[in-house]
Chains A and B, each alone.
Chain A
Amino acid sequence: MTVQKLKLKIFGAARDIMGGRELEIEVNGQTVGALRQTLFTLYPALKQLNSLLIAVNQKYAADDSLIHESDEIAVIPPVSGG
């Protein structure tokens, strides 16, 4: 397993739970799924959200997508524009 330090942009309700607009976290793994699991472990309150998506380089990414330290990664709680 590879440990990666990922820089995250965080929005909306997820920001209130995680306590910052930008955070760096260590993830043991290389996929979006590994990141999501790490987030749920570090911040269990995220599980109460109706959904939690991850965007990689400004696109929604599935759990099996690979992520790298150089990627732009964002934590996306349920959207509510309009």
Chain B
Amino acid sequence: MIKITQKAIDVQKVIDTASSLGAGAVNVFIGTVRDNAHKKNVRWLEYEAYEAMAVAEIRMIIEEATHRWKLLGWAVSHRIGTLKPGEVAVVVAVSTAHRKDSFEACEFIIDAIKAKAPIWKKEVFEGGEEWVSANPQMVMHTN
């Protein structure tokens, strides 16, 4: 399952989708919204995605992971829209026979999603906002 969704992610559902009776390990990464960045308070994040391509990129990442590790199950869900501190932005779950593969595969998948999937987030602070990673150190001030 690869999902890009406006709705709150049901973490248990992602885990259940990735689970397998043949697996001895289910590894889950949950990415959440921090309440701070650059020593400032984050009010909320705005996430957007080029949805069709994001799904295609994540599918390629999963394919590469399945070549490198024996995945018995997997699922990825990424939220878009407005997210407040503490909310879940992304969940990656994989199941494998033994735990080492599950840690490695899960880390590989989330790292590759962050590097390649066309998804963006803007941090909204008190009095300013900034597209994350877009510029060397620019903050756009709104007032």
- On A, residues with C-beta under 8 Å from B are 9, 11-13, 16, 48-50, 55, 58-59, 74, 76-82
Q: Which residues of B contact A50 (CB under 8 A)?
A: 133-136
Given contacts A59-B56, A80-B121, contact A9 B136 (CB under 8 A): no
CB-CB nearest in chain A for B80: A81
Q: Which residues of A contact B90 (CB under 8 A)?
A: 81-82
Which B residues, 82 to 125, have Cβ-Cβ distances below 8 Å to chain A?
89-90, 110, 113-122
Per the bound structure, the CA–CA distance linking A13 and B118 in Å amounts to 12
Most buried by B among A13, A16, A59, A77: A13
**Contact across chains for B78 and A78 when beta carbons are under 8 A apart:** no
Tier of interface size on chain B: 20 to 34
CB-CB nearest in chain A for B114: A82
**Contact across chains for B134 and A13 when beta carbons are under 8 A apart:** yes
- On B, residues with C-beta under 8 Å from A are 31, 47-50, 52-54, 56, 78, 89-90, 110, 113-122, 131-136, 138, 140
Main SS class of interface, B? mixed
**Contact across chains for B135 and A11 when beta carbons are under 8 A apart:** no
**Contact across chains for A9 and B50 when beta carbons are under 8 A apart:** yes
Per the bound structure, the CA–CA distance linking A80 and B140 in Å amounts to 17
Given contacts A9-B50, A74-B50, contact A81 B134 (CB under 8 A): no
CB-CB nearest in chain A for B51: A58
| Selected A-B contacts with CB under 8 Å, 15 pairs | A16-B131, A16-B140, A48-B136, A50-B133, A50-B134, A74-B50, A77-B131, A78-B134, A79-B114, A79-B118, A79-B119, A80-B119, A81-B114, A81-B117, A82-B78
Per the bound structure, the CA–CA distance linking A77 and B115 in Å amounts to 12
